[in-house]
Structure 1
Amino acid sequence: MTAAFRLRPGSAADLVHAVRLYDACLGSDKLVSLLFPIKKDDPAAYKKYLYRLYAKRYWSVEWMFTFVVKEGGDAVGGSEVVGFACWKKPKTEISFSERWFTLFAWIAPVMRAFITLQNKIAPPNVDFHVALAFDRCFPPVEKAVFAGKTPEEWWYLSTLAVHPSAQGQGLGALLMAEGLTMADEFQEKQAVVVKAEGKARGKVWLIGLRGTDTFYSRFGFSEVGRANVGELSEWDGGLVMFRE
């Protein structure tokens, strides 16, 4: 029987799946060993850090998680989470009411504060200075690649991961297509506001791992810079790619 797959929005309960899939798909990448040298000896600490990072994103109106579910999978209940994408939406995509007048918007700051408190009271056994190397290295790169552009109009694809056992079935393309469709629709709305002519194309950017450029180029992405600089110069990935 051919497996059936479907996309669904992420929930807080899915964060454990995000960590599991990230580790299965990207855990062996050089970037992870650079940011988390403790991973080999204490994988639980690395996963705790990653869980809290994704939790902070989940409890933010700008971030969006989408998961791929395999129906009739091995998991209890007959379905199995086999992939996910994590996107950051443009600030201008978030409506005033969504940002301030929804139940989620009221709860989210409390949850983020709680996670921050957790990291202070019971921090994971990782070197936070090393783990945050990307945050120090990327701003100059971002400034260069976005010169003359308006970053607030861009969607950011942070993570796209499909479990190795489910790869080769078009699930990565399925996740990508959903995000690009939303980006295109957002850009169409922007074009109407400014009365621009022609079909508007969503502006999306990402930072790819080594060897992912072939996949992303299928969707119109092209390399515009590299993020493996400074403290991350040993990283063999870091392709900054734009689609506009």
Structure 2
Amino acid sequence: MRIETLKASHRREAVIGWAFIAPQMAGFIIFVLFPLVSVFLYSMQEKNLLFGTSLFIGLENFRLLAQDPLFTKSLVNTLIFSAGVVPLNLVFSLLLALYLGGGRTGTRFVRGIIFLPVVTSGVAWAIVWKYLLQGGDAGPVNAFLSLFGITGPNWLFEKGWAMGSVIVTRVMKNLGMNVLIFMGAVLNMPGDVIEAARIDGAKRFTLFFKIKLPLLMPTVMMVTIVTIIGSMR
């Protein structure tokens, strides 16, 4: 009798557990999994939108795409862009979060300045930076450099400078969101563990790499994945 009661209790707990996760799973299946599968199936068809017909052609679309030189160039540029954006974003956002999480002077001011680009329209952000990075002496950035006798390049149109300029402006645009995420993790770190490490003689770099960074690693992984997805878009 006791075994049957335990089994019934376990079944009841399992049903309650599935009931709790059912809405989330239903949303994932309907709005994420089903569209992904549909896109993959559509990519293996040749559709005639005029007559509404479709023909299964397998991986032919992917083969044609791989032969397009513009696709290859675009893919390489995207990988270079991601390789620049992701590490810069992670390093600066983590350092700023550690600074702001320490409650140092000017925290509110710095936090507002960092997060301001996040709420700024992407179109407005692009227009402003296109003006700032103009070539010659027309752009404010080059005008400032000319004060020191430096001739600035045409940032957005010269090979070697255009990609770097776009990477820097993109990092500045999305930095505030990652700083906000890291700040939440920094403020939730166990203070007693950090204080115990300080008492045991841990210096600044040892404290960061041996104590703080391992505690922040789940957040670092999450931010890394989100930043990679955003940069690859």
TM-score by length of 1: 0.21
Structure with the largest fraction of strand: 1
User: Which of structures 1 and 2 has the bigger CA Rg?
Assistant: 2
TM-score (norm 2): 0.22
